[in-house]
Amino acid sequence: MAYSEERSLSINNLPSQVRETAMHSHDRTLRESEKRYHALVAAAAAIVWTTDSNGAIIEPQSSWERFTGQAWEQSRGWGWKEAIHPDDRERVKALWEKALSSRSMYRSAQRLWHAPSQSYRHVEVWAVCIPDSSGGIKQWVGICSDVTDLKRAEERLEAVLGSINDHLVCYDRQWRYIYVNDKAAEVLGRRKEDLIGRSIWEIFPDAVGNEYYRAVHEALAEQKIIRQEHYYPPFRAWFQNHIYPTPDGVTVFSADITRRKESEQRLRRSEARYRALLEASSQSIWTWNPETLEGDYEAVQRWWETLTGQSPFSQKDLGWLEVIHPEDRDRVSAAWTEAMTTANKLEVEYRIRTLAGEYRHLLSRVVPVREEGGAVREWVGMIIDMTEQRRQEAALKEADRRKDEFLAMLAHELRNPLAPIRNGLELIRLAGDDAATREQAQGMMERQVAQMVRLTDDLLDLARISQGRLELRKEQVEFASVVRSAVEATRPLIEANRHELHISLPPAPILLEGDLTRLAQVFSNLLNNSAKYTEPGGRIWLTVERQEAAVVATVRDTGIGIPGEMLSRIFEMFTQVDRSLEKARGGLGIGLTLVRQLVEMHGGRVEARSEGPDRGSLFIVHLPVITAAASPLHPTPSAEKKGFSPPGHRILVVEDHEDSAKIMEMMLKKMGHAPRIAYDGVEAIEAAEAFRPDVIFLDIGMPRLNGYDAARRIREQPWGKKILLVALTGWGQEADKCRSREAGFDFHLIKPVDPAVLNTLLAELGSAEGKPIDLP
Ligand code: ADP
């Protein structure tokens, strides 16, 4: 082990005694000095020795001989060196020579052979030179003191301090590290050698002025022990410090308490969260200690009291069971008792009677909070009002049931027209030359097809409205044209039922800002219903009146009427008064829903009235009108276009469904055009190139190449730029139309296409080169 000479200096103050001894021996008589010297040597529990001015022993040294076992002969001259531990010998020799030449005080620490114990012992050596009267050196006097026990104790202390988990540092009064244990060096992230002797504030300048800084200064200034916890950001750590003032500075024990602090903080946060949770849902969370009967349950009691009218007093001792639905009471009581006796958590749903006399669905969850040993310390409970959820579940079930019913009815309604259409076809085949029968069959089939188209259109419209995707194409509309359109659409049914239709319109034109097609749809739906729900031969009135800023149109009939309780619900989706009865009349219960939605989209309202079954029905529609001076009426293009005679066109029909393609081809031929068929997209491009049609009707979903891609490729050709491209598809959503536009189509028609629409389209193509075409 290497020795620290500085440390040895502070161990005791023997050197001053030695110095004093030397001074006195110089001043007094030799004899007195000799006496004192021998007395001192005898008294000191140390080795006292003398050498000549060259460091050589020139006379016997009794205490040296006793300690080292060296005989006078062995120690004389520089022989004493042999008693020193071989590892320390050279160092001691060098130090001794240096002292001799500089005449300065000698000091060293070393191991010296100890004859009695036959081992080396640690000694500290001090020596001074005694001058003679002529200014030379008379002799050197030295002393060795055995510090082995002290040394061992220090080593033991060092081992203890080195192994403890706390950090220990000692500063002197200039804040220099004079001791740092292993743990402290590790935490400070420095080697001990780099710390010892340097000021803490120099090594950690960012700590100057912080809490720790203030505390150590205070401990030193006021000489008091300070205990402190502080956070040191650069280490991201919390320390608990015990700061002790010492005679030569300050000693600090520190423990890293970051983990403890973090868990305290987690605990505090979770506590705060729990409090906030309790506060946020204070009405329904509670805690209860069965031992002390204490807990946080006032809020829940108050909530319960407001809900049920039960005072906190009557809620006690299972008193709360009183307001539980009689059918649920025993079950809840049993579950509660079981939870309390088995200390298991409880989850139970029940109904309670409220102050207002209605029942609400509540869900109670109660969870035991256990001690470490497993015993239940308290219970935490929560009550959740499930009424709304249960109501919504019931509503969902009902909606689901209605949806199933609706689907069944839809299948029925779509299938219904198919039988007469099939029979009609058979009739036409059998009729031969009987033109009257054929015409009759054809009329009937047209009506059935119209009914199917109407159903699917209504469904699509409703889907669009409910997704907010139905857009009105508003323009200035004269109300008379709305009426005309609606009547035209319903006339076949009215005539088939031999109803008397009375229409009354004021002479002055009434102008609206609206979508003609959609407004006509409103009144054709109402007239259609009147025709459906009025026995044959009955009467129907459509009366239009102008009332200030509104037009009030009334559709009245002498039909089966509507029961009073149904009047408010009749506009709801899928609502029908009597399914069993209505089935025969056809319908899905969406016509009136559409009516109301469309009227409201036009800023109006609609109401239904009836004096009851068989007393007829009345539907009143209010719509805002344009009140400013009437501007000239733009006639609707569709009304104007009727009766065009089309010139012949070269038309390519692209359709993978063979029958549909053939029928279309036949129809177009009959209309005076020159059609040709292609059965998929690839064939379409080839045929178009060879045939150079004026118009292509292109299906979208097709094998090999779909309609969009086929259209794109045709548009890329020099000959394909001017062709009128018409998408003919079952997909009618806005997004589908958008894709058609992007692919280069001029029109997007939805199957089945009304032949009248085809006619108009083709007629316009011939008559209005380059102008946009308006379709009905
Ligand atoms: P649908 O007629 O397809 O069943 P609607 O939504 O048009 O559906 O009508 C909903 C229900 O309102 C009908 O099923 C019918 O019961 C009743 N209703 C509608 N219009 C009349 C009317 N003019 N006379 C009697 N009942 C009617």
Residue 321, pLDDT score: 93
Token look-up 């059935």 returns: 448
Find how far residue 414's CA is from the centre of its chain.
Answer: 46
Cα–Cα separations (whole angstroms), residue 682 to 133, 137, 656, 714? 133, 126, 11, 10
User: How remote is the CA of residue 543 from the centroid of ligand 1, in Å?
Assistant: 19
CA distance 710 to 697: 12
**Got the DSSP string for 709-722?**
HHHHHHHHSGGGSS
CB-count exposure of residue 473 (10 Å: 0-12, 13-18, 19+)? exposed
pLDDT in the model for residue 233? 87
Could you give the C-alpha distances from 403 to 74, 581, 646, in angstroms and in order? Answer: 121, 19, 46
**Strand pairing partners for 748?**
727
Cβ-contact 296, 286 below 8 angstroms: yes
pLDDT of residue 125: 93
Ligand 1 nearest atom to the CA of residue 557, by list position: 23
- Position 647 scores a pLDDT of 57
Residues in the chain: 776
What is the residue with the minimal CA distance to atom 21 of ligand 1? 529
How many other β-carbons are positioned within 10 Å of the β-carbon of residue 52?
14
Ligand 1 center to residue 600 CA distance, Å?
A: 19
Between the CA of 444 and the centroid of ligand 1 the distance, in Å, is 23
Which residue is it, tokens 């531990």?
85
| Class of residue 531 by CB neighbours under 10 A (exposed 0-12, middle 13-18, buried 19+) | buried
> Residues with beta carbon inside 6 Å of ligand 1?
529-530, 533, 557, 559-562, 570, 575-577, 582, 587-593, 617
How do residues 461-472 score in pLDDT, each as one tens digit? 888 887 777 888
Q: What is the pLDDT of residue 659?
A: 79
- Best mutation site among 522, 570, 581 for ligand 1 pocket (most ligand atoms within 8 Å of CB): 570
Handedness of CA 656, 657, 661, 664 (dihedral sign): negative
Mean pLDDT by 10 residues, the chain (776 residues): 36 44 53 69 74 90 91 92 95 93 91 94 92 86 90 86 85 92 89 92 90 92 93 89 92 92 90 77 76 80 89 87 95 94 93 94 92 86 91 90 79 77 86 86 83 81 79 89 90 90 92 91 94 93 93 96 91 77 65 92 95 93 78 36 54 87 85 89 91 91 88 92 88 81 89 79 62 43
Atom of ligand 1 nearest to the CA of 594: 6
- Are the beta carbons of 295 and 289 closer than 8 angstroms? yes
Please state the atom number of ligand 1 nearest to the C-alpha of residue 588. 3
Task: Please tell me the distance between residue 619's alpha carbon and the centre of ligand 1 in angstroms.
Answer: 11
Residue 102 belongs to what H/E stretch?
A: helix 86-102
pLDDT for the residue numbered 5: 39
SS3 21: helix
> Ligand 1 mean position to 757 CA, how many Å?
29
Identify whether the C-beta of residue 560 lies closer than 8 Å to the C-beta of residue 613. yes
Tokens of 21: 């001894």
For position 26, what pLDDT does the model report? Answer: 52
598-617 as b/e, with b when 16 or more CB fall inside 10 Å?
bbebbebebebebeeeeebb
Global pTM value: 0.45
Q: How far is the CA of 589 from the centre of ligand 1 (A)?
A: 7
Residues paired with 179 in a beta bridge: 170
Residue 322 tokens read as 């009183």
Using alpha carbons only, what angle is made at residue 721 by residues 716 and 723, rounded to the nearest 5 degrees? 125
Look at residues 240, 255, 256, 320 and name the one whose alpha carbon lies nearest to residue 286. Answer: 320
Going by alpha carbons, the residue nearest to atom 3 of ligand 1 is: 587
398 CA → ligand 1 middle, Å: 21
Query: Atom 18 of ligand 1 has which residue's CA nearest to it?
Result: 529
Of the candidates 468, 472, 716, the residue with the CA atom closest to the CA atom of residue 603: 472
Q: Whose CA is nearest to atom 25 of ligand 1?
A: 561
Predicted confidence at residue 109, as pLDDT, reads 93
Tally of helices (H runs) and strands (E runs) in the chain: 28, 25
Cα–ligand 1 centroid distance for 592 (angstroms):
7
Give the C-alpha separation, 679 to 683, whole Å.
Answer: 6
Residue owning tokens 């529990």: 45
Q: Spell out where 39-151 has E strands.
A: 47-51, 106-114, 119-131, 137-146
Tell me the CA–centroid distance for residue 411 and ligand 1, in Å: 19
> Could you tell me the distance, in angstroms and rounded to a whole number, from the CA of residue 454 to the centre of ligand 1?
15
For residue 516, the CA-to-ligand 1 centroid distance in Å is: 23
b/e burial code for range 435-446 (CB count within 10 A of at least 16 → b): eeebeebeebbe
> In angstroms, what is the span from residue 639 Cα to ligand 1's centroid?
29
- Relative to the CA of 561, which ligand 1 atom is closest? 25
Instruction: Mention every residue, 6+ apart, whose C-beta is less than 8 A from residue 229.
Output: 238, 239, 240, 241, 257, 261
Q: Dig out the tokens for 727 from the structure.
A: 């998408």
Closest residue by Cα to atom 8, ligand 1, is: 589
Pocket test for ligand 1, best of 533, 596, 598 (most atoms within 8 A of CB): 533
For residue 725, the cross-strand partners are 696
State the pLDDT at residue 457: 82
Over residues 64-74, the pLDDT tens digits come to 999 999 999 99
Q: Which atom of ligand 1 is nearest to the CA of 616?
A: 24
Query: Between the CA of residue 668 and those of 395, 405, 442, 657, what are the distances in Å?
Result: 51, 41, 18, 17
pLDDT of residue 117: 93
- Residue identified by tokens 């054809």 is 442
pLDDT digit string, tens, across residues 502-561: 999 998 899 999 998 899 999 999 999 999 999 999 999 999 999 988 999 999 999 999
Among candidates 105, 102, 116, 249, which has minimal Cα distance to 177? 249
Residue nearest to atom 7 of ligand 1 (CA): 591
Kindly report the backbone phi and psi dihedral angles of residue 79, in degrees, each rounded to the nearest multiple of 5, phi listed first: -60, -25
489 CA from centroid of ligand 1 (Å): 18
Q: How far apart are CA 174 and CA 747, in angstroms?
A: 95
Choice from 576, 578, 579, 599 to test ligand 1 binding pocket (greatest atom count within 8 A of CB): 576
Name the residue with the closest Cα to ligand 1, atom 19. 529
Whether the CB-CB separation of 758 and 728 falls below 8 Å is answered with no
